Structure 1
């Protein structure tokens, strides 16, 4: 319950002779199920048993244990930045990585602003395993994912059994109940259903139940002699706190910084959220006053149904149909510090000389702050912007048809695949932001602060300085109604003869964007937002949407291709080579920059699609108890993007070279060890906007990341640890301020005192390490305050489970 993802370990009797649980046959980003040693791609799997030992607090924390994947798991249960093989995270989200459930994408674009794909999935007891393919065939067998595909595969009830798990945080407030059950039900029918519900403050202090909600998923399958038909559904309604950058003290130099928590604010255990900062009064897309609740956090609401059919009519044919409709909406709301400084400095800057401060909310509301230098032990105030985004419609309709034919020819086996992928993605949202002034404390008791000028006149009202992104230059009143249609025919062939396997594939993506948007320019007005009949100072700083809207109307198309060669050195070893070119269509992030003209068309056709070219060479070794995989890679990446909050347009090229390593060993005695590591040498090879960045390392890209997971498994117990580490990186592309490397240790122990019963404890970041994944500043600021995101501090949870 205390885990954001639950303990997955089975509680049935366990053989001490535990084998590697990595499956031989993979199904992700391949035309059909394929033996791992015969595939000329780099692929990794994570099993439920492995997830248990990781003690994750979010799905993103699971992903960071995939070699080649850089998962910045510091944002909570969503809004993670995910990249692969040195491909950039230029603005946020997972631009070059697609997250799938059962072979179809959670969203068509992994970096929709404030609606990243990982925010709309939850890993729970429904997960059979996770497969991740980097490079190679992902360019041609999926759309908009030239870097990687991470696929969460669901259980489908082949064997009867289920679990119930209940848990709680031992040193933090969260309670969780998980269940799943599946079984054959006669006449070749089978089913599986599972889900979770959780509630609590979460791993950081907020002063209220920031994490609350749950999920239920299920499927029913009818098997017949030549295939199967499966219907499935999912309902997700969850709230999770969004941990955005927060203030931290940095001393030393940019090259050798020392990051320290501020007095009264723990950077990895606290948050700016508070029971005293809940309401956000603002204007909706029709410029009408509304009051939103900051406690809504990241709120995905998904109602999903799907169909999968596979038929083998004979003569070497296989026909497959996959369809999904997801009715998706939600909200993203969080506090982002635009500036953190001394209280007196902010009071003077906003209210002039002689300005005074009083509490606006909380138990001291109306009380004057007479000694601002000693406020909360740090003497600081925060100018914060409420990122308040209503995700009205993210509905997705997906259909993929494949026809596969096996032909024996020339003493080998030729497999031909043809298919058509059709998708429609809606992106309809409005940004209704507000600017606040608050004190700086991280115990869930922070309060809004009012400022009065020397004449006693209010500069703020209830802590509100402006009804808009006033602290961001009034940049971000946005509203858009968009629809993206994709049609992508694709073809693939593979020829297997003896020890050799040749693969090639081609995809032609055709897309069109239609819709309209508002908010291209700031429109300041005086509006009686609170309805009291008077215009206050903050109400003169209200950003409204103008009546005129701008069209979005353009088409694009691009061709992706990939070819690979695999050679089996022996029964247990193989070598492969692969070269690919894949594209990624840009979506909403380019709409507010210079890429779109007044008619809604693309000014520069190159801005519609960015390409990734990758070369790979790999070695694979697998026995019953040992595995080792090594892949050399080289990637050239195009990137055109727009960061709407900073109003930065990006036009760059990147180059990355590196190696992925993955190995595991499971002994007869129950001892197991899994080790993974990725070394990456990445650079900005061209920057059309800021040429001085050429040759620099992309921001937040470490040279080396690694994971080490030892475990010992016996009939009555399992113990294990997960070590995750990274070397230094840079906060920004200018390569000044460093983000220090760090290593975290997670511990897991489970006892099975009787058949079907388990008791487990999971400790995440047991040594309470401060690990920074991003920082807003390019260099240490004059006041020594940097806005940064740290991973969660130490959290310990206990779980009781029963399997049947």
Structure 2
């Protein structure tokens, strides 16, 4: 195996060193202006010092947990009074607006809109007449007069911090407030994407290791969708092999809200994000006071505690501390603790005289199970159903006999531990800041250092379930050739030698399983520095010029052994033996259930230096018309080493399991390459009226090759920069009782590599094939919110899309013969044409009791590129409940998959992504949604 090639402490490249030096010299970072969380008409702690009104209103929004829209020119420079104490949102707003020429024209549970008061108007009279609606006051319709343009702060998908309304954005953005997160309680950071149209999420892998796709993007994992934390990437490249971004981040109560951008300008300001970015914005001790402890319990032994505390140290300094700890028996319990661990955060905020500084430390030590496909069968009508003796929603192949097994890591004997699951130990230190230069200019910067060690162990099912007799027939020739005295073959349980199956009523099925262990330690430094300024020339220009750099180094070590299992919950290991004429054992195909020791071995060391330059201009041509455009140039240099391989025979003549162990041969294959890309985007928005705005955008983006593409094939030449074209046209409407956001989009990927990584059950080895093709997708996204009179409301999010492969034809060797395959025109793998999420809700007892019913529908999909393995449509029903027992105590309940629907999210990629075989066979593997889950939460505010 290889020793370390380089680590993050080595001398940085000149470009990265330059960017890092700028951060340390300026002490700067991007300012994050948290916006709204959902309002509750309960008492909250407010601490808004006297000062300038526009800043006071922004502080009010953060502390109240609402979006606040107001005419900026009517508030800028105006003095405001201090508001301090525990009170309702409406009372705090009334005090803040006392004596000001601003009135409330619309308010609901998420947003409050202000406008300049007409001449002769007394805002205190309007406030007294205001009627209560939802959780904040909703006044009668305003006097007829065109209100000035309101201002709402949007921070994601932009390079400047100038206030911006949602109607002015020229891209699709969805904001999830803290209350949204509390009420929906996503079971993983990936699962929250279910609340965002345009994204297709496979969150059936558990709390980590899932797949997210956006707008027809045909790649898995997080290769084209980025996670950001306070505007800085959680991980520069989310496509690193076996190190998805969601393994590096957990949602907890220190997150104040999430902003998600689909497509659009995400690729300009965030690396590896052509499909979009989810920006997790954390709490600030300057904007919030107090704290909360939340206790959660659920089925299968789920226990969790979340806590956070915010404290204002002075007018200029604030601190937040918090995190979580959790233990869980598992969504499909494997007979041992499936998940355990937690995360801790400590943040220090400073703001004064227009400058800001954020220091944030996050440490995570968490172990979660990676859930994989389960065995199923087809009924007479071709619909999937359970196999006798195995519940696909609650049973697990993993169990006591596969918990710890002796395998080989190259030439080294080792013990494989399934209970390690996906175990991540991570520490990240972040510095962000802003320095006012005067004259409308600002210097921004951000710096994040991260070190982590990730282990990913799991039992991967292979092939298809088959009868014991079919399995013996498949190995008969090899057994007779190896053991000439063979008279018959038999299957026996590995631990006690009894015959398989033990019970007459058992299903009699066996399957292969890969015990795969991967280790990916990563050290990473990310840095960005940026200058923003405002110019007046034919309108207002908010201009930004930035440079960012990254340096990261990782090791990739992987080994695997293949076992034979019965198809049952907590499956037992099976031995295949050759019997002589007297019934004695002449030889063994397996060894203690192991079919092949060392069926995979890989060892690689990679270092990547990345440099990007971006520039943008947000041009306000008139009060109604706004145009923005920008460009990004990026270059990555990959430098690494990959160990060569050979095959060993350990020399045990009684078994075939040790005949072909993959191990290092002592050679080193170097990797050295550089790739670059240039992208640009232009968009515009036009406000037709105060309630309706239109936008359009065209983007030419790219995706650079990932270093992990060379972990196992260092000499490959099929990896190039992938050009990506995106276009979108949308409308945003905001009415008194109805909000609507609709977007039509088109995406085109060119020269995209598609890999078929298929496990050959006959040889117990992987076979890989890569082909180059294009994809094109047309679709539409919709978000609607209807809040009629009374306690009812409905939220609907929908995505309609038709994604197809283009220029996809190749020759494939099948059964020793070349076969020409044509996949052009086939639908994209696993992406539904229709995905709809509807959430009807009712708020009772002055919003102290809220009940939501969630319905999620996903249309028919295909588990392979050949469109041979159909995955049926399905509907998931859930329930969320929140009860305010007092001003400081709340009770929440969450039920997912209420009806125990067997919804299949993917087939079994180990059987091949090109052609997994048609669904005409009786047995197959697929990964379903989880069974019904019930969780109860009790939250105590202080």
Give the structure-1-normalised TM-score.
0.90
Following superposition, the deviation at residue 760 of structure 1 comes to 2.1
From 462, 483, 489, the counterpart of 1:338:
462
- Whether 1:425 and 2:552 are equivalent positions in the alignment is yes
CA distance 1:794–1:234, change in 2 (3 Å): same
SS where residue 183 of structure 1 aligns?
strand
Matched, 1:619 2:738: no
Q: Per-residue CA shift, 1:133-159, capped at 9, x if unaligned?
A: 111111211222111111111111212
Aligned partners of 2:388, 2:745: CA distance in 1, in Å? 45
Q: Contact 1:707/1:723 (CA < 8 Å) preserved in 2?
A: yes
After superposition, the C-alpha distances for 1:613-635 in whole angstroms (9 at most, x for unaligned) are 01111101235654211111111
Residues 271-310 of structure 1: pairs in structure 2 closer than 5 A:
271-284=396-409, 287-310=411-434
Tell whether the 8 Å contact from 2:208 to 2:370 is kept in structure 1 after alignment.
yes
2:446, 2:528 within 8 Å by CA — same for their partners in 1? yes
Alpha-carbon distance between aligned partners in 1 of 2:922 and 2:38, rounded to the nearest angstrom: 43
User: 1:591: how far off?
Assistant: 2.0
Equivalent residue in structure 2 for 1:354, among 488, 493, 503: 488
Aligned partner of residue 747 in structure 1, secondary structure: strand
Q: Please name the residue that 2:881 is paired with.
A: 749
Determine helix, strand or coil for the equivalent of 2:591. Answer: coil
Candidates 893, 898, 914, aligned match of 1:761: 893
Task: Report what 1:159 is aligned to.
Answer: 288
Structure 2 residue 638 is the aligned partner of structure 1 residue 513: yes
- Residue 51 of structure 1 aligns to a residue in which SS? helix
Q: Spell out the pairing of 1:472-551 with structure 2 (5 A cutoff).
A: 476-498=600-622, 499-518=624-643, 523-527=646-650, 536-551=655-670
| Structure 1 residue matching 2:700: 3-state secondary structure | strand
Alpha-carbon separation, structure 2, partners of 1:491 and 1:511: 19
Matching residue within 519, 527, 538 for 1:390:
519
Measured after TM superposition, the shift of residue 294 of structure 1 is 0.5
Q: Distance in 2 between matches of 1:748 and 1:204?
A: 22
Q: CA 1:60/1:704 → structure 2, altered by over 3 Å: closer, same or farther? A: same
1:237 to 358, 361, 365: 365
Does the alignment pair 1:220 with 2:384?
no
Once the two structures are superposed, residues 374-425 of structure 1 have per-residue CA deviations (whole angstroms, 9 ceiling, x without a partner) of: 47x321112111121111x222210011110011223x21111100010123
Residue aligning to 1:671: 792
Residues 550 and 610 in structure 2, CA contact (< 8 A), matched pair in contact too? yes
Structure 1 residue 314: Cα displacement: 1.1
Distance 1:643 1:194 in 2: 43
User: Contact 1:40/1:566 (CA < 8 Å) preserved in 2?
Assistant: yes
Provide the C-alpha distance between the structure 1 equivalents of 2:432 and 2:40, rounded to a whole number of angstroms.
28
Which of 573-582 and 621-630 deviates more?
621-630
Q: What CA distance in whole angstroms lies between the structure 2 residues aligned with 1:188 and 1:775?
A: 54
Other-structure match for 2:686: 567
The answer for the alignment partner of 1:720 in structure 2 is 852
Judge conservation of contact 2:683–2:696 (CA < 8 Å) in 1.
Answer: yes
Task: Give the whole-Å Cα distance in 2 for the aligned partners of 1:131 and 1:121.
Answer: 16
Counterpart among 582, 588, 592 of residue 458 in structure 1: 588
Distance 1:388 1:10 in 2: 47
Once the 2 structures are TM-superposed, how far is the Cα of residue 111 of structure 1 from its aligned partner? 2.1
Gaps of 5+ in 1: 1-6, 470-475
Q: 1:553 to 1:670 in 2, by over 3 A?
A: same
- Provide structure 2 residue ranges, at least 5 long, that are not aligned to the other structure: 1-36, 44-87, 91-106, 113-150, 480-486, 758-765, 812-820
Q: What is the aligned partner in structure 2 of residue 629 from structure 1? A: 741
Partner of 2:803: 682
CA RMSD of aligned residues (A): 2.4
CA contact (8 A) 2:416 2:515 kept: no
Distance in 2 of aligned mates of 1:21 and 1:428: 47
* Mean Cα deviation higher: 572-581 or 772-781: 772-781
Deviation at 1:670, TM superposition (A): 4.3
Q: How far apart, in 1, do the equivalents of 2:736 and 2:282 lie?
A: 25
The equivalences for 1:356-375 within 5 A come to 356-360=490-494, 365-371=495-501, 374=504
- Distance, in Å, in 1 between the alignment partners of 2:529 and 2:246 is 25
Q: Helix, strand or coil: the match of 2:267?
A: helix
1:74 aligns with 2:204: yes
Task: Verify: 1:111 aligned to 2:239, yes or no.
Answer: yes
Q: Does structure 2 conserve the Cα–Cα contact (< 8 Å) formed by 1:53 and 1:721?
A: no
Residue 372 of structure 1: CA displacement? 6.2
Per-residue deviation, residues 509-548 of structure 1 (Å, max 9, x unmatched): 01110001125x5x221238xxxx9985322232212211
Of residues 56-65 and 226-235 in structure 1, the stretch that sits farther from structure 2 once superposed is 56-65
C-alpha distance in structure 1 between counterparts of 2:801 and 2:156, whole Å? 24
Which residue number in structure 2 is paired with residue 552 of structure 1? 671
- Specify the alignment match of 1:173 in structure 2: 301
C-alpha separation in 2, matches of 1:462 and 1:109: 40
1:643 Cα deviation (Å)?
4.8
Distance 2:305 2:620 in 1: 47
1:94 matched to 2:195: no
TM-score, normalising length from structure 2? 0.78
Q: CA deviation at 1:593?
A: 7.9
Task: Specify the SS of the correspondent of 2:179.
Answer: helix
Distance change in 2, residues 1:374/1:398 (3 Å)? farther
313-322 or 752-761: which moved more?
A: 752-761
Deviation larger for 711-720 or 145-154: 711-720
Mapped to 2, the partners of 1:646 and 1:674 lie a distance apart of 46
User: In 2 relative to 1, CA 201–347 (structure 1 residues): closer, same or farther, beyond 3 Å?
Assistant: farther
Task: After TM superposition, give the deviation of residue 666 of structure 1 in Å.
Answer: 3.9
What CA distance in whole angstroms lies between the structure 2 residues aligned with 1:508 and 1:621? 35
CA 316–524 in structure 1, closer or farther in 2 if over 3 Å, else same:
same
The 3 A distance-change label for structure 1 pair 759 and 206 is: same
Displacement after TM superposition at 1:215 (Å): 0.7
CA distance in 2, matches of 1:404, 1:67: 32
Q: Does 1:320 align with 2:444?
A: yes
CA distance in 1, matches of 2:474, 2:38: 53
Distance 1:699 1:544 in 2: 34
The alpha-carbon deviation at position 275 of structure 1 amounts to: 2.4
* Alignment of 1:43 onto 2:181: no
For the Cα contact (< 8 Å) 1:70–1:84, is it kept in 2? yes
Instruction: Say if 2:777 is the partner of 1:656.
Output: yes
1:789 paired residue among 920, 927, 932: 927
Quick one: higher RCO (CA 8 Å, sep 6+), 1 or 2?
A: 1
State which structure, 1 or 2, has the greater radius of gyration over its C-alpha atoms: 2
Measured after TM superposition, the shift of residue 781 of structure 1 is: 5.9
CA distance in 1, matches of 2:362, 2:688: 44
Q: Number of residues paired by the alignment?
A: 763
**What's 1:3 paired with?**
none
Name which of 554, 561, 564 aligns with 1:434: 561
User: Which moves more between the two structures, 540-549 or 13-22?
Assistant: 13-22
Secondary structure of 1:52's counterpart equals helix
Instruction: Please say if 1:182 is aligned against 2:310.
Output: yes
Matched, 1:798 2:936: yes
Aligned match for 1:609, one of 703, 721, 726: 721
Shift of 1:118: 1.2
Partner secondary structure for residue 659 of structure 2: helix
| Counterpart-to-counterpart distance in 1, 2:705 and 2:767 | 18
Q: Which residue of 2 aligns with 1:640?
A: 753
In the alignment, is residue 578 of structure 1 matched against residue 578 of structure 2? no
Q: Secondary structure at the match of 1:172?
A: helix
* 1:150 match: 278
Provide the C-alpha distance between the structure 1 equivalents of 2:642 and 2:270, rounded to a whole number of angstroms. Answer: 28
SS of 2:902 mapped into structure 1: coil
Per the alignment, do residues 244 and 783 of structure 1 end up closer, same or farther by CA in structure 2, a change over 3 Å counting? same
